[in-house]
Amino acid sequence: MPSMQTKTQASSELSFEEFQAEVLNDYQIAFTSRECSLLGRREVLTGKAKFGIFGDGKEVPQLAWSKAFKNGDWRSGYYRDQTFMMAIGQMSIQQFFAGLYGHTDIEHEPMAAGRQMGGHFSTHSLNEDGSWKNLTAQKNSSPDISPTAGQMPRLVGLAQASKIFRNVKGIENKTNFSINGNEVAWGTIGNASTSEGLFWESINAAGVLQIPMVMSVWDDEYGISVHAKHQTTKENISEILKGFQRNEDEKGFEILKVKGWDYPALIETYQKAGKIAREEHVPVLIHVIELTQPQGHSTSGSHERYKSKDRLAWEVGNDCNVKMREWMITNNIATDERLLEIENTIKKEVRDGKKAAWEAFVSPQKAEQKELVNLLEKVADASQNKNFILKHKDDLASIKEPIRKEILSTARKVLRLVAKENNQEKNQIQQWIAAYYSKIQPKFSKHLYSEAENNALSIEEVKATYDEDAEMVDGRLVLRNNFDTILESHPETLIFGEDSGTIGDVNQGLEGMQEKYGEMRVADAGIREATILGQGIGMALRGLRPIAEIQYLDYVLYALQIMSDDLACIQYRTNGKQKAPLIVRTRGHRLEGIWHSGSQMGGLVHLLRGMYILVPRNMTKAAGFYNTLLATDEPALIVECLNGYRLKEKLPNNLGKLRTPIGIVETIKQGTDITLVSYGSTLRIVEEAAKELEEAGISAEVIDVQSLLPLDINHDIVKSVAKTNRLLVIDEDVPGGASAYILQHILEEQNAYIHLDSKPQTLAAKAHRPSYGTDGDYFSKPSIEDVFEKVYAILSEVDPKTYPSLL
């Protein structure tokens, strides 16, 4: 018997028959996966599916990986991993094709309910009601994203969670998430994608953190058409990573290299890697070389255009499935005839699975088509436009396998033809369209935010309360003392970021917390914003409550791609089957200079739909947001006011308990002449201007939106505008940034335009970055005088006698 370790061999020696059965079973999975790829490509080329990207040429290493992958483990990978998903029992043939067709029913398409193109895999961490499943009793995959290397930062966090579970006291009972930190996080990436900065940042972070992460690089020498010589120094990722190799004196990575078609060597390598990571909590990199792409990169092109004849021929001979087959015959595990028999059976199974997936995909649509066709016949009969309607009906009826766009667009076109009629049939078509929307739209739009009972919007306000002789303290102490109560009462919370540990953050909002709660829970991190975010995402996916700190708002941009592409859409892209309730803490707005006073809130508001964006005007409000978020299960960004840490605030006596509600505005000054809407640090300017306006006889109402995403869910701003009939939105973002977002909301969503007697306006910063120093600030951002004059001008236009023009 060839020497190799299999999953069952760990506990006992296998008989030849058992060994043979296991290898045959593996080969069947590899062959099934390949057959799916081949038929999948055909489905795209014949127009049934829109796009296909498959795992052909990467099957055999994934069999070996699946044997080392245990319950409780996590995957963070990319689109080549279909064989692995099949091997761990998380994707059937029918589900593979359902993904290809974009079936919107999660029962049929468990990866994303059709929201993601095929080849983007995930598992379900949540029950129907949004509560956690027992993640240690199942094999887990985090949900894939398309940006190459975007899976890397989250992988760091998935692996770090095991380290936290193994070492932090007080969370031993969270056995739904971890059993003593024994879980390994397994990553995969294509060779070309290792060129991305995120790969290097993540590898370095994992080496520093010493976490149980096994990283496989599937090396097929290409990234679409671009050869390794343009991607990787020395064309060899394991060679250039050698400096990361651990040795007796220094911690680092274990680096292994193996040929992707060598089944026994792969099994041995993956067993070894899993053991090192699981037992020692040491990261491992496996460079899997000599892989191929039998069908080229994807259905978008053919690799004959850019691979040489020699390379194409080499790929045919070194195809991992072909090599495994040869190895099985040479080692008398199966005969050619036996394998042909098995292969023929599988070919039929895949054809049948594909057919079943297609039937399941089209049959509800056919039923909907039939229903509409029947209704249109009635509508036509009752209409003066009968013939036109019948034409639409016939066109729809003639479509053999309709999609929903064809069905609904027919109904909407017919509605126009009966617009002037007044009969029951018109009502019926209107009702049909409304009902169709309410049934179908959620398939594409649900779960952008949590729909669980304790979602963020359900958390009620708890106002700050004060002792009679409450002390006035620096704002940072309000925050610090609140973090203290959080860390004390929630052992699953952790805070980490640049300078967050030893010195307790650059503004000392965490002063003394590391000493009190230890280096695991209050931690310094390297200067690597994307992986700080990734640590947070991965740990939140595994049931911890991380607070990831990005030192300044301006540097959120380094983490913005991951926040936008990964964190913000986790709930959406899994159709509510995973969540990552990560709190991102940062500080920003006004201070000094281009990179310490930015306020790019418009950009954030647009790129982070799916998260909450909270802009507390002081530290008490900020503390309340942290408390609210910990009571719920959603990701959020909190921007503390950079110039507020040393401002005095009254020290509440209910820290840890006070809660700032999300999406609720607060009127901080009553007024009758104009409504001023703002947030964050700018509010102090606005409040000051409002006082000066009062002296000039103008009564301004000042509203703090507090929360940009979501904005004013109770529509309180319009109530103010109904009273004042005038509106100015002020912030320190660029013109057309968050102020335009707020104005659009007030005008369109809240219909404030019907109450307006003056043009609604915005006052923002200059379009350039804020210049340095006090004068730089004065000439870049709205000042008290700017606010005063803008408001005054609005009133001057209405009543020039009382308010003669100033400028």
Ligand X SMILES: Cc1ncc(C[n+]2csc(CCOP(=O)(O)OP(=O)(O)O)c2C)c(N)n1
Q: Which is nearer to ligand X, 32 or 148 (CB)?
A: 148
For 214, the 3-state DSSP assignment is: strand
Q: Which is nearer to Mg ion, 73 or 221 (CB)?
A: 221
Q: Which is nearer to ligand X, 83 or 597 (CB)?
A: 83
Nearest residue to ligand X, scored by beta-carbon proximity:
190
Q: Which is nearer to Mg ion, 155 or 291 (CB)?
A: 291
Task: For 373, list phi and psi in degrees, rounded to 5.
Answer: -55, -45
Least distance (Å) between residue 120 CB and ligand X? 11
The residue written with tokens 């007030």 in the block is 746
Q: Which is nearer to Mg ion, 49 or 289 (CB)?
A: 289
CA 13, 14, 16, 20 torsion-angle sign: negative
Distance CA 728, CA 762 (A): 6
The residue written with tokens 């290792």 in the block is 194
Stretch that binds ligand X, among 118-126, 215-223, 247-255, 542-550 (CB under 6 A): 215-223
Q: Note whether 192 binds ligand X by CB under 6 A.
A: yes
Token pair in block for residue 499: 């300078």
Assess contact for 334 and 369: CB atoms under 8 A. Answer: no
Q: What is the DSSP string of 616-638?
A: -SSHHHHHHHHHHHHTS---EEE
Cβ atoms within 10 Å of 166's Cβ, excluding its own: 17
Q: Which of 220, 262, 484, 712 binds ligand X (CB under 6 A)?
A: 220
Distance CA 470, CA 481 (A): 14
Q: Note whether 191 binds ligand X by CB under 6 A.
A: yes
H/E element, 530: helix 529-541
Distance CA 509, CA 477 (A): 6
Least distance (Å) between residue 149 CB and ligand X? 7
The catalytic residue among 596, 606, 715, 745 is 596
Least distance (Å) between residue 101 CB and ligand X? 21
Stretch that binds ligand X, among 26-34, 141-149, 375-383, 769-777 (CB under 6 A): 141-149
- Please, which residues have CB within 8 angstroms of residue 708's CB and are 6 or more apart in sequence? 601, 604, 605, 613, 614, 615, 679, 738, 741, 742
Distance CA 514, CA 510 (A): 8
294 binds, among ligand X, Mg ion, none (CB under 5 to 8 A by kind): none
**H/E/C letters for each residue in 351-380?**
HHHHHHHHHHHHHHHHHHHHHHHHHHHHHH
Least distance (Å) between residue 297 CB and ligand X? 6
Distance CA 117, CA 145 (A): 10
Least distance (Å) between residue 194 CB and ligand X? 7
Q: What is the DSSP string of 127-176?
A: -TTS-B--GGGS-EEPPP-SSTTTTHHHHHHHHHHHHHHHH-TT-TT-TT
Token pair in block for residue 142: 């985090």
Distance CA 33, CA 30 (A): 5
- Please, which residues have CB within 8 angstroms of residue 128's CB and are 6 or more apart in sequence? none
Stretch that binds ligand X, among 140-148, 370-378, 417-425, 792-800 (CB under 6 A): 140-148
How many residues bind ligand X (CB under 6 A)? The answer is 14
For 405, the 3-state DSSP assignment is: helix
Assess contact for 537 and 529: CB atoms under 8 A. Answer: no
Residues 560-619 that bind Mg ion (CB under 5 A): none
Stretch that binds ligand X, among 35-43, 186-194, 407-415, 445-453 (CB under 6 A): 186-194
Least distance (Å) between residue 362 CB and ligand X? 29
Residues 172-211 that bind Mg ion (CB under 5 A): 190-192
Task: For 599, list phi and psi in degrees, rounded to 5.
Answer: -150, 60
Residues 251-310 that bind ligand X (CB under 6 A): 297
Least distance (Å) between residue 611 CB and ligand X? 21
| Nearest-10 Cα torsion for 726, 665, 588, 657 | 160
Q: Which of 118, 223, 598, 602 binds ligand X (CB under 6 A)?
A: 223
Least distance (Å) between residue 118 CB and ligand X? 14
Q: Which is nearer to ligand X, 32 or 188 (CB)?
A: 188
Angle, alpha carbons 326-329-90 (nearest 5°): 70
Q: Which is nearer to ligand X, 221 or 649 (CB)?
A: 221
148 binds, among Mg ion, ligand X, none (CB under 5 to 8 A by kind): ligand X
Report the relative pairing of strands 222-223 and 727-730 from DSSP bridges: unpaired
CA nearest to 321, candidates 35, 709, 557, 115: 35
| Nearest-10 Cα torsion for 602, 605, 607, 609 | -160
99 binds, among ligand X, Mg ion, none (CB under 5 to 8 A by kind): none
Q: Note whether 148 binds ligand X by CB under 6 A.
A: yes
Q: Which is nearer to ligand X, 534 or 616 (CB)?
A: 534
Q: Which amino acid is at 188?
A: T
Assess contact for 643 and 473: CB atoms under 8 A. Answer: no
Assess contact for 533 and 567: CB atoms under 8 A. Answer: yes
CA nearest to 296, candidates 596, 56, 14, 578: 56
CA nearest to 214, candidates 82, 90, 76, 320: 76
Distance CA 745, CA 757 (A): 18
Print the binding letters for residues 222-241 with Mg ion: x by CB under 5 A, - otherwise. x-------------------
Task: For 406, list phi and psi in degrees, rounded to 5.
Answer: -65, -35
Q: Note whether 295 binds Mg ion by CB under 5 A.
A: no
Q: Note whether 594 binds ligand X by CB under 6 A.
A: no
Q: Which is nearer to Mg ion, 191 or 720 (CB)?
A: 191
Residues 417-456 that bind ligand X (CB under 6 A): none
Least distance (Å) between residue 304 CB and ligand X? 16
635 binds, among Mg ion, ligand X, none (CB under 5 to 8 A by kind): none
Least distance (Å) between residue 228 CB and ligand X? 8
Print the binding letters for residues 51-90 with ligand X: x by CB under 6 A, - otherwise. -----------------------------x----------
Least distance (Å) between residue 256 CB and ligand X? 19
Q: Which of 133, 147, 179, 275 binds ligand X (CB under 6 A)?
A: 147
Stretch that binds ligand X, among 221-229, 592-600, 698-706, 750-758 (CB under 6 A): 221-229
108 labelled catalytic: no
299 binds, among ligand X, Mg ion, none (CB under 5 to 8 A by kind): none
Least distance (Å) between residue 195 CB and ligand X? 8
Task: For 333, list phi and psi in degrees, rounded to 5.
Answer: -85, -30
Q: Which is nearer to ligand X, 222 or 244 (CB)?
A: 222
Least distance (Å) between residue 222 CB and ligand X? 5
Of the CA atoms within 13 Å of residue 558, those in its CB half-sphere come to 21
Q: Which is nearer to ligand X, 192 or 705 (CB)?
A: 192
480 binds, among Mg ion, ligand X, none (CB under 5 to 8 A by kind): none
Q: Which of 220, 262, 505, 649 binds Mg ion (CB under 5 A)?
A: 220
Stretch that binds ligand X, among 91-99, 189-197, 199-207, 520-528 (CB under 6 A): 189-197
667 binds, among Mg ion, ligand X, none (CB under 5 to 8 A by kind): none
Q: Where are the alpha helices (DSSP H) in 599-703?
A: 601-607, 619-630, 682-695
Nearest residue to Mg ion, scored by beta-carbon proximity:
190
Assess contact for 690 and 674: CB atoms under 8 A. Answer: no
Residues 609-668 that bind ligand X (CB under 6 A): none
- What are the residues binding Mg ion (CB under 5 A)? 190-192, 220, 222
What residues are labeled active site? 596
The binding site for ligand X (CB under 6 A) comprises 80, 146-148, 190-193, 218, 220, 222-224, 297
